[in-house]
Chain A
Amino acid sequence: MLLKLTCLIPLFPLIGSIINGFFGLKIGKKAVGFIACGSMTLSFLTSVLVYVGYLMLPEGQHVYEQVVWTWFGASDFNVDFGFQVDPLTLVMIFVVTGIGLIIHVYAVGYMQEEFSYYRFFAYFNLFVSAMLLLVMGNNFLLMFIGWEGVGLCSYFLIGYYFEKKSACDAGTKAFIVNRVGDFAFLLAVMYIFNIFGTIDFTEVMHAAPEKLIYAGEAVTIITMLLFVGATGKSAQIPLYTWLPDAMEGPTPVSALIHAATMVTAGVYMLVRCSVLFNLSPMTMTVVAFIGGGTAIMAATIGMTQFDIKRVLAYSTVSQIGYMFMACGVGAYTAAIFHLVTHAFFKACLFLGSGSVIHGIHGEQDMRKMGGLKKHMPITYWTFLISALTIAGIPPLAGFFSKDEVLYHSLMDGNIIFWGMGISAALLTAFYMFRLVFMTFHGESRVDPSVHPHESPKMMTMPLVVLAGLATVGGMLGLPFLHGWHILHNWLEPVLHFDLANALQHSEHMLHEAGRHAPSWAHLLEPKEHNGWIEFALMVFSTVVAITGVVGAYIFYIKRPDLPEKFTQGQWGLDMVQNKYYVDELYDDVFVKPTVEGSNLLWKECDAKAIDGAVNGAAKTIGWFSRQAQTLQSGFVRNYALFIVVGFISLLLAMF
C-alpha cells in the first residue's frame, strides 16, 4: 500500500532539519544544502507515491487515515497522532513540497555567503515539516502542532539576523500576534469537543449538520473563533500587522513562508471546516467582509510603499483577502484555486525580488533601482510574467483564479463584495506595474559604485520553473465537465455539504427545544450557472487589469513627474503611507497600557499592598508584644497584684 508512506512526507524534512541543526557546522555548506534539498525531494517524491496510492483507493472512499500513535488523552478525550489524506490535503501537500523544493534550491544559491547557513536550512526544513503536519493532521490539535510550529519557524526565520533589533522585534511581534489568533483557535477546539465529543476532522464534519443548529449560537461562536485564529495566521484585519514586518527575514523565507504556504494556512483551515462555516451565515458574511476589506486596504498601502519586499508583502495580504472573500461567499474551490496560483506567482515574485536585491547588493528601496531590465534579463522576464499573472491578464493563471473569485462574489454574494474585489484588482494591477516599472524600466538610479548583475543559475532556474507554473497553472480551473473544472470535481468530496439535510435537522432540533424554525426555503433555491455573466465579467476584469497597467505606465514611465504632483500635500497619502497608523494605534491601545499596568501591579499591588499588609501584620504583632513587655516589669509586687486581680475575676466569673 503506497498510502502507508504518508507519515514519511513530514518526516523527511524533520530528519533533514535535525541533521542540519546538530551537525550542520561540521559537515560544510555543500552537504547542508544537499541534505536540505534532498529531504525535500524525497518528501515530494513520496507525495507523488501517496497520490498514486490515493487514486487506487476503492470507489466511494475519499479519505485515508493513518494513526501513528495516540498522542494524549484523559477519560473520553483522546487525540491521535494521525494523518489523513484527502483531495484537499493532497493539493496542499503538492503546493508545500513542490514549491518548497523549488525555493530550497533557490535558497542554496541565495544564502551562499551566510555564515550560519546550516541554521537557516535547519529552520527551513523544520518549517516544511510543520506545514505538512498542519495540512495532514486528521484532527484539530494535530493541526495545531503544525499551526504553532510554522509560527515558531517563522519567528526564527524572521529573526534570522538576530543581531538586528528590527528583525528581533518583527519576529517577536509575529509570534505574539499569531498567539492572539491561537488563543481563539484553542477556544474553538474546546467548544467543538464540548459539542461533538471528538476533535477528529472527519467525525466532526460528518456530525456537524446533525448536532448544530443552522445559524445557531454554538456554530456561530465556533466559526467566529476559528476565523479569528485564521486572521492571525493569514494576516487579515485586524491581525495583519505582523506580515509586512516579517520581511526582515531573508527573501527565500518571505517567498516560502510569508507568501506561498504558511499565510495560506488560514484559508486551508476555513476550507477544511467548510461544513461548519456553511452552517453559520453570519460568520460567512463577516469572513467575506473582512476578506474584501483586507484586499482593498492592503492594496492601497501597497501603492505607497517603496521597499520592494514590503510592496509584495502588502500584495500578499491583499491576495489572501481575496481567498477569504471567496470562502465567505461559499466559493471554497475558488479560494483553493487562487491559493494554488497565488503560491506560484507570489513565490516567483518574491524570489525575483530576491534576485534583484542580490544583484544590487542588498538594496531594497525601489527609488534606488530602475533600468535593471538589461542587467538581469531572466529575472526581468520571469518577474514580468508573474506580475501580469497577478494583475489578471489572460490567459495566465491568476486571471482564471481571480476571475472565479470575482464571479462567485457577485453571484453567491452580492455586488458589494464584487465591487471590493474589482477595485482591489485595479489597485493590484497598478501597484504591481508601478513596481515593475520602477525596478526594471526607466533610468537607472542605482548607486554608481554598484554593478548590477544577473544571479547564478541556481537562482534563476527556480524563477523560470515558477514563471512556467504561473503561466499554465490556470489549466486547473478550465471548465471541462458539467460546467465545472478539474479542481472543483477533485475537491467535491471534501466540500460536500447537504444544506437541505442540515436544515431539516436544525428544524427538528429547534422543534424539540420548543422553538419555531424560521423559514429557510429561500436558501434552497438552486443557483444557476450563468455563462454569459461569467464571460462579461471576464472581459470587464481584463479591461480593469489593463487600465491598471496602463495607469502605472503613464505615471511611472511616460510622465514620471505625475506621482509627485498628485501626492504633494495630500494628508490622505501620508496616512496610507504610514499604514493608517494601525501599528501606532495598537501600540498605544494594547502594548503600552499593558506594560505600564504591569509595572503598576508589580510595584503597587505586589510590593506595597500585599507585602505591606503582611509587614503591617508583623508590625502590629510586634507592637502588641512591646506593650505586653511592659507588664513584665520585674517588680514582685506588680506580679502579686496581677495574681490577686486574676484570682478575683476568676471567682467572679465562676459565680
Chain B
Amino acid sequence: MFLTLITFLPLIGALFLVFMPKESVAAIKQTALAVAVADFLLSIFLWTNFDNTSHKMQFELNVPWIEAWGINFHVGLDGISLLLYVMTTFLTMICVIASWDVKIHVREYMIAMLTLSTGMLGVFIALDLFMFYVFWEFQLIPMYIIIGVWGGPRRVYASIKFFLFTAVGSLLMLVAILWIYLHIQETTGVATADILYITEHLSAPLGTQKWLWMAFFLAFAIKVPMFPFHTWLPDAHVEAPTAGSVILAGVLLKMGTYGFLRFNLPFFPQASYEFVPMIAWLSIIGIIYGALVSMVQVDLKKLVAYSSVSHLGFVMLGIFALNPYGIQGALIQNINHGISTGALFLLVGIIYDRRHTRLISEFGGLAKIMPKYAICFMIVALSSIGLPGMNGFVGEFLILLGVFQVNGLWAACATSGVILAACYILWMFQRVMFLEVKNPKNMNLKDMNVREMFTVVPLIILIFWIGLYPKPFMDTFDASVTHLVSKVNPDNFRPKQEHHDNDHNDKQNEKHGEHARLITPTEMASLNHTLQMPALIKE
C-alpha cells in the first residue's frame, strides 16, 4: 500500500494543482516542489526498509483489477527496480527545481511533470503485464506534451518523432504480451498476466521464444536507444526543455534497459543467449558510433545526446554478458548515466538560459567568467568519461570485466569507447570553457546562482559517493542479480547431448578466438590454463 501511495502521490499532487488558480505561480511551484520532495523522502524510506538479502519482490500489493480477465493490480519492488525507482523520484525533484524559471503555462507544466513522475514510477513497480503496458504508454503522453509545448523551435517534429518511434515499438510488444497471456492460459489453465507467474511458468519452444523476444526487443531497443534505433533521441533531447532532457536521459531510457532485465532475460533465457552476439555487436557499434558522431556535433545538447547512445551501449553490453559482473555493472551504470548525463543536461540548460544558444562555437573562455560553473562542468564531464574515483568508472569497469569473461574481442572493442569518450568530452570542454573570451556576449554572464547549485551539487556528491564507495548502492541488487544470473545461466539450457559438439567448437575457438561462447569465470580460468601454447617462445 505504501508503495502505491508513493507512486500515485505525484499524480494526486497534479490533481491538486489543477484546482489551484493559474495566476498564483509561486504557490504552484512551491506545491509541486513540496510534492516532489515528499515523494523523494518517502522513497528513501523504501530504500532503508529494503531487505538487501532477498531477491523476492518487496512492498508487494496484489489486488484484483479486472477480474474477468485475471488482471491484477500487482506492484512490488526488487533489487533491479529499487534504485531506478528512487532515482526517478530524485530526478523529479531536481527537475522541479531546475524548472523554476519556466515562463509560460507554469501550472500545466508542473502538472505534466508530476504526472510523468507517476507514469515512470508505475513502469518500475508494475508486476502485471497489462498494467506494465498501461504505464509504459501512459508516461509517453506527459513527455510528449512537455516536448511539444515547452520545447525548442522544432518541438512539434521532435515530439511526434519521439512518440511514433516509441509507440510503434511497443505495439509489437503488446502483441507479444497478448500471445503470452493466451499461451499461459492454454498451458497452465490460469488466466493471468502476472509477471512473476509468467517468469516461473512460461515455456515456449526456442523458435517461438525468439519471435517473442524480438517483439520485446524492438520496444526496448528503441527506448534504450540502441543503434540503429537511436535517431529519435538527439531530436527529442535538443528540442526538449532542460528538465525534459534530464528526465528523458535519466529515467525514460532506463525503462528500456529495465525491460530487458525484467522481461527478455527471465522470460526467454534461451533466446537471450542465442541473441547475445547480435546484441553485443549492436552495442559495440552503438558505443563507437555514438562517440564518433558525438565528437563532431556543433550543438552541445546533441553532443550529450549522442554520448548517451554510447553510454547505453555499455549498459546493454553489460546486461547481455549474462554474468554477475556485467549485470551489476549495467545496473550501476544505469544509475550513473542518469546522474552524469542528467547533470550535463542541467549544466547545458544553465548556459542556454543565459545565452539562448547551445552552439559550441558561440562560447569559449567561460572558465574565466563562470569559474563555479566550469568546476561543476569539469567534474561532471570527467565522471561521464569514466575517470576512476568517480561513478562512471565503477560501472564501466564491471561491465567490461563481465564482457571480457565472455569474449575478449568484444571487451577490447568496447574499451576503445573509453578513448573516444575522452576525445569528444575534452574537445568540447576546451572549446566551451577554455581559450580566450572572443564573443562579447559572453563577457557579462553570471555564474551559477544558488538555485542552480542546488540542482547540480547533489548530483556531484553522488558522483563521488558512487565512485568511491558504491557499496550501499550495489548491495541493493546483489541478491536479485545473483538470482537472475542463476536463471539465465547458459548452462541451464545448453543441451547435454551437444557436449561433444561444444568440445569441437572449443577447438575452433582456440584457432579464432572470437566466437561467442559463454562460460563461467572458473571455467574460463581453467581454459586459460589448458589453452596456453608456447607458440611465442624465442628459441
Taking Cβ atoms with an 8 Å cutoff, the residues of A that contact B are 69-77, 81, 141, 144-145, 147-149, 152, 155, 159, 162-163, 165, 168-169, 171-172, 175-176, 179-180, 182-183, 186-187, 190-191, 193-197, 211-218, 220, 280-282, 285, 506, 509-510, 512-513, 515, 517-518, 594-595, 597-599, 601-602, 605-606, 610-611, 614, 618
**Contact pattern, B 451-470, Cβ under 8 Å of A = 1, otherwise 0:** 00000000000000000111
CB of B13 to closest CB in A, whole Å:
37
The answer to whether A75 touches B419, judged by C-beta atoms less than 8 angstroms apart, is: no
* Separation of A514 and B115 alpha carbons in the complex (Å): 67
Nearest 4 interchain pairs by C-beta:
A75-B324, A216-B532, A74-B328, A598-B292
Residue in A147, A152, A187, A599 whose beta carbon sits within 8 Å of that of B415 in the complex: A187
Q: Are B434 and A285 closer than 8 Å at their CB atoms?
A: no
A270 to chain B, nearest CB (A): 19
Closest CB in chain B relative to A576 CB, distance in Å? 30
Q: Are B324 and A601 in contact (CB under 8 A)?
A: no
Residues of B with C-beta under 8 A to A193: 401, 404
**Count of A-B contacts judged by CB separation below 8 Å:** 180
The interface residues of chain A, by DSSP majority, are classed as helix
Which interface residue of A72, A211, A212, A281 has the most chain B CB atoms within 10 A?
A72
Task: Establish whether residues B418 and A179, one from each chain, have CB atoms under 8 Å apart when the complex forms.
Answer: yes
CB of B442 within 8 Å of the partner chain = no
Given contacts A72-B398, A190-B404, A194-B525, contact A152 B382 (CB under 8 A): yes
Contact yes or no, B415 A183, CB < 8 A: yes
CB-contact partner of B416 in A183, A513, A606, A614, under 8 A: A183
- A163-B436, A216-B532 known; A194 vs B418 contact (CB < 8 Å): no
Contact (A141, B388) CB under 8 Å given A194-B528, A509-B529: yes
Q: Which of B190-198, B343-351, B405-413, B491-499 contacts A (4 or more CB under 8 A)?
A: B405-413
Is B427 interfacial (CB 8 A cutoff)?
yes
Choice from A152, A168, A212, A610 contacting B435 with Cβ under 8 Å: A168
A281 to B536, CA, bound (A): 9
> Which residues of B374-431 have CB atoms within 8 Å of chain A's CB atoms?
382, 387-389, 394, 397-398, 400-402, 404-405, 408, 411-412, 415-416, 418-419, 422-423, 426-427, 430
Interface positions of B (Cβ within 8 A of A):
164-165, 228, 231, 289, 292-293, 295-297, 323-325, 328-329, 365, 367-368, 382, 387-389, 394, 397-398, 400-402, 404-405, 408, 411-412, 415-416, 418-419, 422-423, 426-427, 430, 433-436, 468-471, 474, 478, 481-482, 521-522, 524-525, 528-539
Tell me which of A76, A172, A215, A599 contacts B296 (CB under 8 A).
A599
Q: Are the CB atoms of A186 and B387 closer together than 8 Å? A: no
Q: Smallest distance from the beta carbon of B533 to chain A beta carbons, Å?
A: 6
> Can you show 30 pairs from A to B with CB atoms below 8 A apart?
A71-B469, A72-B470, A74-B325, A74-B328, A75-B482, A81-B468, A141-B388, A145-B388, A145-B389, A148-B389, A149-B389, A168-B430, A172-B427, A182-B418, A186-B400, A186-B415, A190-B404, A194-B521, A194-B524, A195-B525, A216-B533, A217-B535, A218-B532, A281-B538, A506-B534, A509-B532, A513-B529, A518-B537, A602-B296, A610-B228
Distance between Cα atoms of A75 and B326 in the complex (Å): 10
The interface residues of chain B lying within 8 Å CB-to-CB of A141 are 388, 397
**In the complex the two chains form, is B537's CB within 8 Å of A163's CB?**
no
- Provide the residues of chain A in CB contact with B228, threshold 8 Å: 610
Chain B CB within 10 Å, residue with most, of A69, A74, A163, A182? A74
- Which residues in A have their C-beta under 8 angstroms from that of B525? 194-197
Distance in angstroms between the alpha carbons of A595 and B292 in the assembled complex: 8
B237 → A minimal CB distance (Å): 14
Interface pair A175/B426, CB less than 8 Å apart: yes
CB distance from A225 to the nearest CB of B (A): 10
Chain B residues, CB < 8 A from A598? 292-293, 295-296
- CB-defined contacts of A182 to chain B, threshold 8 Å: 418-419
* Residues on the B chain within 8 Å of A72, using CB: 394, 398, 470-471, 474
Most chain B CB inside 10 Å of its own CB: which residue of A165, A190, A601: A190
Q: How far is the CA of A196 from the CA of B521 in the complex (A)?
A: 10
In the bound complex, do residue A70 and residue B400 qualify as a contact, i.e. CB atoms below 8 Å apart?
Answer: no
Instruction: Say yes or no: A190-B401 contact (C-beta < 8 A), given A168-B434, A598-B292.
Output: yes
What separation, in Å, do the CA atoms of A171 and B426 have in the docked complex? 9
| B contact patch SS | helix
Q: Which residues from B are CB-within-8-Å of A512?
A: 529-530
Q: Cβ of B529: which chain A residues have Cβ within 8 Å of it?
A: 211, 509, 512-513
Contacting residues, chain A, for B534 (C-beta < 8 A): 213-216, 506, 510, 515, 517-518
In the complex, the answer to whether A195 meets B528 with C-beta atoms within 8 Å is yes
Q: Are B538 and A282 in contact (CB under 8 A)?
A: yes
CB contacts (< 8 Å) of B536 on chain A: these are: 215-217, 220, 280, 282
Q: Is the CB of B329 within 8 A of A74?
A: yes
- Kindly identify which residue among A76, A81, A172, A187 contacts B411, using a CB–CB cutoff of 8 Å: A187
Contact of A215 among B389, B415, B469, B538 (CB under 8 A): B538
Contacts of A212 in B (CB 8 A): 532
List, in ascending order, chain B residues with CB within 8 A of A180's CB: 419
Using known A-B contacts A145-B389, A163-B365, determine if residue A74 contacts B324 with beta carbons closer than 8 Å.
yes
From known contacts A72-B471, A168-B435, A602-B296, infer whether A190 and B411 are also in contact, taking CB-CB under 8 Å.
yes
Assembly CA distance A141 to B401 (angstroms): 12
A458 to B220 Cα, complex, angstroms: 64
Q: Which residue of A171, A190, A217 is within 8 Å of B400 (Cβ)?
A: A190
A362 CB to nearest B CB, Å: 19
A597 & B292 in contact (Cβ 8 Å cutoff): yes
**Best-buried of B289, B292, B411 by chain A (most CB within 10 Å):** B292
Chain B residue at minimal CB-CB distance from A595:
B296
Q: Min CB distance, A638 to chain B, in Å?
A: 32
Q: Tell me if B434 and A159 are in contact (CB < 8 A).
A: yes
> Chain B contacts of A69 at CB under 8 A?
469
A182 to B164: give the CA distance in the assembly, Å: 41
| A182 to B400 alpha-carbon distance, docked (Å) | 14
The distance from the CB of B20 to the nearest CB of chain A, in whole angstroms, is: 40
* Closest A residue by C-beta to B430: A168
Chain A residues near B293: list those with CB within 8 A.
598, 601-602, 606
Q: How far is the CB of B462 from chain A (nearest CB, A)?
A: 15
Report Cα–Cα, A214/B530, bound state, in Å. Answer: 13
Once bound together, how far apart are the Cα atoms of A89 and B469, in whole Å? Answer: 25
- Interface contact A183-B419, CB-CB below 8 Å: yes
**Do residues B231 and A152 form an inter-chain contact, with CB atoms below 8 A?**
no
CA distance A74 to B325 in the complex (A): 5
- Interchain CB contact under 8 A, B389 and A194: no
Q: Which of A144, A171, A517, A614 contacts B231 (CB 8 A)?
A: A614
Alpha-carbon distance A509/B427, docked complex (angstroms): 49
Q: What CA separation (Å) do A56 and B389 show in the bound complex?
A: 33
Q: Find out whether the CB atom of B539 lies under 8 angstroms from the CB atom of A518.
A: yes
Q: CB-nearest residue of chain A relative to B482?
A: A75
Q: How far is the CA of A182 from the CA of B417 in the complex (A)?
A: 12
Question: Which of B292, B400, B401, B433 is close to A594, meaning CB atoms less than 8 Å apart?
Answer: B292
| B538 surroundings in chain A (CB, below 8 A) | 215, 281-282, 285
**Closest CB in chain A relative to B526 CB, distance in Å:** 10
Of all chain A residues, which has the CB nearest B421? A179
Are B532 and A213 in contact, CB atoms less than 8 angstroms apart? yes
Do residues B435 and A163 form an inter-chain contact, with CB atoms below 8 A?
Answer: yes
| Residue from the set B394, B408, B536 with the largest chain A CB neighbour count within 10 Å | B536
A512 to B534, CA, bound (A): 13
- B260 CB to closest chain A CB (Å) equals 18
Which residue on chain A has the smallest CB distance to residue B364?
A: A163
Contact of B295 among A162, A595, A611 (CB under 8 A): A595
B323, B401, B470, B535 pick with most chain A CB within 10 angstroms:
B401
Chain B residue nearest to A603 (CB atoms) is: B296
Q: B401, A77: Cβ atoms under 8 Å?
A: yes
* Closest B residue to A193 using CB positions: B401
Residues of B within 8 A of A152 (CB): 382, 387
> Which chain A positions have C-beta within 8 A of B416?
183
Chain A minimum-CB-distance residue to B408: A191
- Within the complex, the shortest CB–CB distance from A164 to chain B, in Å, comes to 8
**Are A515 and B533 closer than 8 Å at their CB atoms?**
yes
Q: How far is the CA of A598 from the CA of B297 in the complex (A)?
A: 9
